[in-house]
Chain A
Amino acid sequence: MMLAYIFAALLALLALGWAFRAAGRAVTGGAPYFRDMPLSIGFGYALGAALLLWVGYAYVLARTAPPEVANKLFFLRVAVEGLVLFSVAGWLFRLAGRHIGTAASRKLFRAMPVTAAFGILTILVYAFVAIFAGWLAPFGQAEILPQANVIPGGNPALGGDPAFPLGTDQIGRDILSRLIYGAQNTVGIAFITTCIAFLLGGSLGFLAAVLGGWLDQLLSRMVDVLMAIPSLIFALLLMTIASAWAGSERWLLTVYMILIIAVIDSTRVYRLARAVGQNIVVMDYIEAAKLRGERLPYLIFREILPNATAPLLAEFGLRFCFVFLTIAALSFLGVGIQPPLADWGTMVRDLAAFINYAAFAPLAASTPLLAAGAIALLTVAVNFVVDWMLYASSGLKE
């Protein structure tokens, strides 16, 4: 029966798509776009329109219907509102960028898509929050308050408290403050880790590309061995060893974690740097520099590096996301950033049980999603920026 309905709906959409195309042809008098349009594209338009209509209908329902219906659509409502809010923010940011700043920055913003503007805005906001966490956060990250299990939203009628706009966790720590400190811990540590990974992987990769021969073989085979082991499991294994070494020194464990993830991720950077470097090394201008008698550091840093920045920068954005997710994952599994330091991965784990209330108490269920959302938002933002940079430079052809 269900299948019949789906089939009928698809047929209806197909008919709609056909009608759309026919109407387009009639109205525009056979403009090439409609004239050469395959039926599949007309179907796509119809399907897209139907989905859009459904989302609009569901959103109206979520705002107006009684709680037992509206609760089921709560997250859809948040998603729609978030999307609109973020696009507007990105658009406004780009608009501002087009009118403020130097001629060069204005030109940059003019050619920028909204997604990239949103990505840059988000990264700036995260950086701001991470740097000024101490001033911004209303409470300390380890501060335990008497009010536990306050629901987010700040509405006393629903179990909230205006003093804690995002609520508190099971032992009474303010979630907003912990999110803000989490930006400092998680993002800061991820940034340092990525930098180390690039320093290590990048310089070794270029070295292998320039010198070749046995050094290239040795380094590349070592990297192959490291890459052959699944990275998360490898990291877990090493972290277990490291926690034994660190003993009760919690900060030492964090240092070990940075080094372990940096080394594991530097293998990917090494491969990219080597591949990009090899393409540059065969260029005549490198040969000219070699024949001039230039030394190795000049070759690497003055001749090769400037030509490899575009792909490396793009890789830096992506690698940062992966490192960041690895840290969150390790923290979620309990071997990463150690309590009482706030960390988004740990927060997701600690509050995960609340997700069970999603069907009838969406506000309570959203507590673990706040930290998860913070992770997701940054990842998406960085990827938007990376995509745009790749497109703008078209430097990454591999």
Chain B
Amino acid sequence: MSDDLLLKIRDLHIEGRSDETWTPIINGVDLSLKRGEVLGLIGESGAGKSTLGLAAMGYTRDGVRISGGTVEFDGIDLVHASAGEKRELLGKRIAYVAQSAAASFNPAHRLIDQHAEGPVTHGVQNRSDSAEDGVELYRRLRLPNPEEIGFRYPHQVSGGQLQRAMTAMAMSCRPDLIIFDEPTTALDVTTQIEVLAAIRDIVEQFDTAAIYITHDLAVVAQMADRIKVLLRGDEVETADTRVMLDTPQEDYTKSLWAVRAFQRPTKPAVLTGAVPLVSVRDVTAGYGKTTVLRDVSFDMHDGRTVAVVGESGSGKSTAARCITGLLPPRSGEVLFRGEPLPADYRKRSRDQLRQIQMIYQMADTALNPRKKIGEIIGRPVQFYTGLTGRARRKRVEELMEQIELPAATFHDRLPSELSGGQKQRIGIARALAAEPSFIICDEVTSALDQLVAEGILKLLAELQDRLGLGYMFITHDLATVRAIADEVVVMKEGRVVEQGPKAEMFRPPHHPYTDLLLSSVPEMDPDWLDDLLEERGRANIGDAAIENMD
């Protein structure tokens, strides 16, 4: 046995309890991690990435058990370790950074107090030394105002800063191993890049070993020395990052790599003078006293996709709410085929409502969990077309055929019996049931795995070609924009900063904000982050860059 192995997992089997039976989650995975090495774990949701990550700490969630195999950390058997022994290790020598920092911090305590808690209970440092060290770590993670930020409460700092504060907290005892469980998945691209750079630097500085769990290949390419691909609890393959990126061996890995290649052919430019399908004119809108949209104008045409891009809070979704009539604008108007639409959806006619449909980001909350699929799709069919009984059923079956879900299997199921991608397809079918001419897609793929997301994008593209639908595609993912958009609208702080055909948008010169957005999207090249930091400088990425802009 080689002694430089920090973590050794052999033939690990993990089972989860559902309906009184144990179903396997991990089927015999091996994992070795040297000191100071960063291992990337990737796979779709349900592949067992997080379960494996937690098992590396000897921990399982409720209703989950380790049924076989060994987890050895620095010679200590974590599967059979007592609670006391684990208490001694966790937090001190093994730390964990969760996906949602906002949910992981205690909202009632200051950051620095939470930071110092670990070192004090583990007897590593006293309170004041640890607080001092915290400030040092904050500085190294390039948090703004490191002396002061520790005295804030979690809700007083931004998501990206909180994620970095959590990384600092994980570092507080100088652990040998840190598990990062999708630390940047919930962040905007421009924020993500800051966090990625910070995490990578600090892991390098302290020579900490890390397991980096993510579903984003481009992210893992920047972070990891080695990559392990998981599929439904089985290991697909493991290799050094560069080898894996250049020459993936397994078909599954290749298919993951290929996702990013999907791109639609460029359409000819819109004829000048054509009446736009939906046109937003000088719309200003907001909630209460805050103004979210300021003089926003853009046009959308039949059979074309307009991608609306921007960070969270930039007003993308608010624009969609103005178009649907959920949020009547304060000034300006929305035109449909040249005719102004009533501002409030309650005042629109049934036909006007029918023409504009919406597909939501979270398919979970977009489908009534107590209704069967047939009813979810059938209701708008009946409501708008008046079909009932057998005719309605036939139309529902047609729609389900369009979304490539066999009606025989799915017609009587509840949404909870469907996977995320299938639910999103039902959402599409519900929108199609109204026979609209315009569909707003609000981040429809951001909650999905890449392979599934690709399937949804292809389906949407195909439906557009067949039915001539106009799409407004709200997204913060520029890879999606590349894949599906015809025109792009970039929004920032409620204003349109740039708009035009896609080809133009991806070609310089850009508005500095567009440039920042574009350059912040991770690429599959493992040197991408280094090159970018070199090019832009560490002080000119993420939030800092946005501040420099103003």
Q: Determine if B380 and A292 form an interchain contact, defined as CB atoms under 8 angstroms apart.
A: yes
Contacts of B368 in A (CB 8 A): 283, 285, 303, 306-307
Q: Beta-carbon contacts of A23-34 to B below 8 Å, as 1s and 0s?
A: 000000000100
Q: Determine if A292 and B358 form an interchain contact, defined as CB atoms under 8 angstroms apart.
A: no
Instruction: Tell whether A4 is near chain B: CB-to-CB under 8 Å.
Output: no
Q: A167 to B472: give the CA distance in the assembly, Å.
A: 80
Known: A291-B324, A291-B353, A293-B350. Is A285-B82 also a contact (CB below 8 A)?
A: no
Contacts of B383 in A (CB 8 A): 292-294
Contacts of A291 in B (CB 8 A): 324-326, 345, 353, 356-358
Q: Determine if A36 and B362 form an interchain contact, defined as CB atoms under 8 angstroms apart.
A: no
Taking a contact as CB atoms closer than 8 A, the residue among A36, A288, A306 that contacts B370 in the complex is A306
Contacts of A287 in B (CB 8 A): 326, 358
Q: Beta-carbon contacts of A265-307 to B below 8 Å, as 1s and 0s?
A: 0000000000000000001110110111110000000010011
Min C-beta distance of A119 to chain B, whole Å:
22
The residue in chain B whose Cβ has the minimal distance to the Cβ of A308 is B370
Instruction: Tell whether B430 is near chain A: CB-to-CB under 8 Å.
Output: yes
Known: A292-B353, A293-B350. Is A284-B326 also a contact (CB below 8 A)?
A: no
Q: Determine if A36 and B83 form an interchain contact, defined as CB atoms under 8 angstroms apart.
A: yes
Min C-beta distance of B379 to chain A, whole Å:
8
Q: A290 to B383: give the CA distance in the assembly, Å.
A: 12
Q: A361 to B407: give the CA distance in the assembly, Å.
A: 73
Chain A residues 233 to 273 lying within 8 A of chain B, measured CB to CB, are none
Taking a contact as CB atoms closer than 8 A, the residue among A32, A36, A288, A303 that contacts B430 in the complex is A288
Instruction: Tell whether B369 is near chain A: CB-to-CB under 8 Å.
Output: yes
Instruction: Tell whether A35 is near chain B: CB-to-CB under 8 Å.
Output: yes
Q: A283 to B360: give the CA distance in the assembly, Å.
A: 11
The residue in chain A whose Cβ has the minimal distance to the Cβ of B353 is A293
Min C-beta distance of B103 to chain A, whole Å:
15
Q: Determine if A307 and B369 form an interchain contact, defined as CB atoms under 8 angstroms apart.
A: yes
Known: A32-B82, A36-B84, A291-B326. Is A284-B360 also a contact (CB below 8 A)?
A: yes
Contacts of A306 in B (CB 8 A): 368, 370-371
Q: How large is the interface on B (under 10, 10 to 19, 20 to 34, 35 or more residues)?
A: 20 to 34
Contacts of A36 in B (CB 8 A): 82-84
Q: Determine if A288 and B353 form an interchain contact, defined as CB atoms under 8 angstroms apart.
A: no
Q: Which of B358, B370, B380 has the most CB of A within 10 A?
A: B370
Q: Beta-carbon contacts of A13-48 to B below 8 Å, as 1s and 0s?
A: 000000000000000000010011000000000000
Instruction: Tell whether B198 is near chain A: CB-to-CB under 8 Å.
Output: no
Q: Determine if B345 and A290 form an interchain contact, defined as CB atoms under 8 angstroms apart.
A: yes
Instruction: Tell whether B365 is near chain A: CB-to-CB under 8 Å.
Output: yes
Min C-beta distance of A393 to chain B, whole Å:
12
Q: A291 to B323: give the CA distance in the assembly, Å.
A: 11
Q: A132 to B12: give the CA distance in the assembly, Å.
A: 62
Q: How large is the interface on A (under 10, 10 to 19, 20 to 34, 35 or more residues)?
A: 10 to 19
Q: A283 to B427: give the CA distance in the assembly, Å.
A: 14
Q: Determine if A284 and B345 form an interchain contact, defined as CB atoms under 8 angstroms apart.
A: no
Contacts of B369 in A (CB 8 A): 307
Q: Beta-carbon contacts of A77-107 to B below 8 Å, as 1s and 0s?
A: 0000000000000000000000000000000
Chain B residues 20 to 49 lying within 8 A of chain A, measured CB to CB, are 20
Instruction: Tell whether B434 is near chain A: CB-to-CB under 8 Å.
Output: yes
Contacts of B367 in A (CB 8 A): 285
Q: Which of A283, A292, A306 has the most CB of B within 10 A?
A: A292
Contacts of A284 in B (CB 8 A): 360, 362, 365-366
Contacts of B345 in A (CB 8 A): 290-291, 293
Chain B residues 311 to 364 lying within 8 A of chain A, measured CB to CB, are 324-326, 345, 348, 350, 353, 356-358, 360, 362
Contacts of A288 in B (CB 8 A): 358, 360, 366, 430
Q: A306 to B375: give the CA distance in the assembly, Å.
A: 13
Contacts of A293 in B (CB 8 A): 345, 348, 350, 353, 383
Min C-beta distance of A21 to chain B, whole Å:
14
Q: A32 to B370: give the CA distance in the assembly, Å.
A: 43
The residue in chain B whose Cβ has the minimal distance to the Cβ of A286 is B368
Min C-beta distance of A93 to chain B, whole Å:
21
Q: Which of A35, A290, A291 has the most CB of B within 10 A?
A: A291
Min C-beta distance of A41 to chain B, whole Å:
13
Q: Determine if A307 and B326 form an interchain contact, defined as CB atoms under 8 angstroms apart.
A: no
Min C-beta distance of A209 to chain B, whole Å:
16
Min C-beta distance of A156 to chain B, whole Å:
54
Taking a contact as CB atoms closer than 8 A, the residue among B80, B353, B366 that contacts A285 in the complex is B366
Contacts of B20 in A (CB 8 A): 111
Contacts of B83 in A (CB 8 A): 32, 36
Min C-beta distance of A259 to chain B, whole Å:
32
The residue in chain B whose Cβ has the minimal distance to the Cβ of A309 is B370
Q: A36 to B80: give the CA distance in the assembly, Å.
A: 12
Q: A294 to B354: give the CA distance in the assembly, Å.
A: 12
The residue in chain A whose Cβ has the minimal distance to the Cβ of B433 is A292
Q: Beta-carbon contacts of A176-190 to B below 8 Å, as 1s and 0s?
A: 000000000000000
Q: A71 to B82: give the CA distance in the assembly, Å.
A: 52
Q: A288 to B358: give the CA distance in the assembly, Å.
A: 8
Contacts of A285 in B (CB 8 A): 365-368
Q: A290 to B82: give the CA distance in the assembly, Å.
A: 55
The residue in chain A whose Cβ has the minimal distance to the Cβ of B430 is A288
Min C-beta distance of A4 to chain B, whole Å:
36
Q: A288 to B434: give the CA distance in the assembly, Å.
A: 12
Q: A36 to B368: give the CA distance in the assembly, Å.
A: 45
Chain A residues 98 to 122 lying within 8 A of chain B, measured CB to CB, are 111
The residue in chain B whose Cβ has the minimal distance to the Cβ of A310 is B370
Contacts of B353 in A (CB 8 A): 291-293
The residue in chain B whose Cβ has the minimal distance to the Cβ of A304 is B368
Residue pairs across A and B with Cβ atoms less than 8 A apart, 28 shown, are A32-B83, A35-B82, A36-B82, A36-B84, A111-B20, A283-B365, A283-B366, A283-B368, A284-B366, A285-B365, A285-B368, A287-B326, A288-B360, A288-B366, A288-B430, A290-B326, A290-B345, A291-B324, A291-B325, A291-B356, A291-B357, A292-B353, A292-B380, A293-B353, A306-B368, A306-B370, A306-B371, A307-B368
List the 6 closest A-B pairs by CB distance, nearest first. A306-B370, A284-B366, A284-B360, A285-B368, A36-B83, A284-B365
Interface residues of chain B, those whose CB is within 8 Å of chain A, are 20, 80, 82-84, 324-326, 345, 348, 350, 353, 356-358, 360, 362, 365-371, 379-380, 383-384, 430, 434
Given contacts A288-B366, A293-B348, A306-B371, 5 further A-B contacts (CB under 8 A): A284-B362, A287-B326, A290-B326, A292-B353, A292-B384
